Chains A and B, each alone.
Chain A
């Protein structure tokens, strides 16, 4: 009985640690898509425009006048003239890189809106977290480069000196 009283007394005198939940900011930051899956699909989405652009650079920039690269232009020009597959050129050089950017961005970016401060002075915070996944970031950069090249080509082709 005496032991029980001592035990109860000890338990009553225990100091409970003061935990403030707002200080613990570690949260699980979920992303919408799987990074590895997005990277696997992204590789296939950029490989076709990369193949075409490689041919262009080898032909024009490095002056490698091989029939292989020259014939690639003829094929792409031929696609535009063929009735049912004339959409294929813009699809490869514009739509596929955009899809690649979207799926890879969704797999590394986490967006969160939080309320901070005391009850009366709560302010909303919009925080963006980017996970460092090298393959996804590289694919996004390659896709941006393809898009930039295509846009530059379209703009220079459409601008004519009158």
Chain B
């Protein structure tokens, strides 16, 4: 089954279908939740940022792995005569 949920622009995957947008929204919502959760337990700004950057990179990685397997192949346009 071919899923065309995302399209690649460089190293970033952008959603093109509703399912892709849902996954992106879920990733962003989880990132915000993680930030609030870490901030409530941390003792300083740097403590918050260290943990948040690490988690943000992990979320980005998992998002990219999902997008990698559900990517739409770019259309090959015919050359103009």
Give A contacts to B, CB under 8 Å. Answer: 36-37, 39-41, 43-45, 47-48, 51-52, 66-68, 71-72, 75, 96
The residue that A44 contacts in the complex, of B46, B54, B60, B71, with Cβ under 8 A, is: B60
Indicate with 1 or 0, residue by residue over B23-52, a CB within 8 angstroms of chain A CB atoms: 000000000000000000000101101110
Q: What are 12 sample pairs from A and B whose C-beta atoms fall under 8 A apart?
A: A37-B68, A40-B8, A40-B11, A40-B68, A44-B11, A44-B60, A44-B61, A45-B61, A47-B61, A48-B61, A66-B46, A72-B54
* Chain A nearest Cβ from B55, distance in angstroms: 10
The residue that B71 contacts in the complex, of A37, A47, A75, with Cβ under 8 A, is: A37
Q: Which of B54-74 contact A (CB under 8 A)?
A: 54, 57-58, 60-61, 64-65, 68, 71
Q: Judge whether B19 is part of the interface by a CB distance below 8 angstroms.
A: no
The residue that B50 contacts in the complex, of A36, A37, A75, A96, with Cβ under 8 A, is: A75
* Chain B nearest Cβ from A51, distance in angstroms: 6
The residue that A71 contacts in the complex, of B10, B46, B71, with Cβ under 8 A, is: B46
Give B contacts to A, CB under 8 Å. Answer: 8, 10-11, 13, 44, 46-47, 49-51, 53-54, 57-58, 60-61, 64-65, 68, 71
Main secondary structure of the interface of B (DSSP, over half): helix
Given contacts A51-B53, A52-B54, A71-B47, 14 further A-B contacts (CB under 8 A): A36-B8, A37-B8, A39-B11, A40-B8, A41-B65, A44-B64, A44-B65, A45-B61, A47-B57, A51-B54, A67-B46, A67-B47, A75-B50, A75-B51
* Chain B nearest Cβ from A18, distance in angstroms: 35
A41 touches B44 (CB 8 A): no
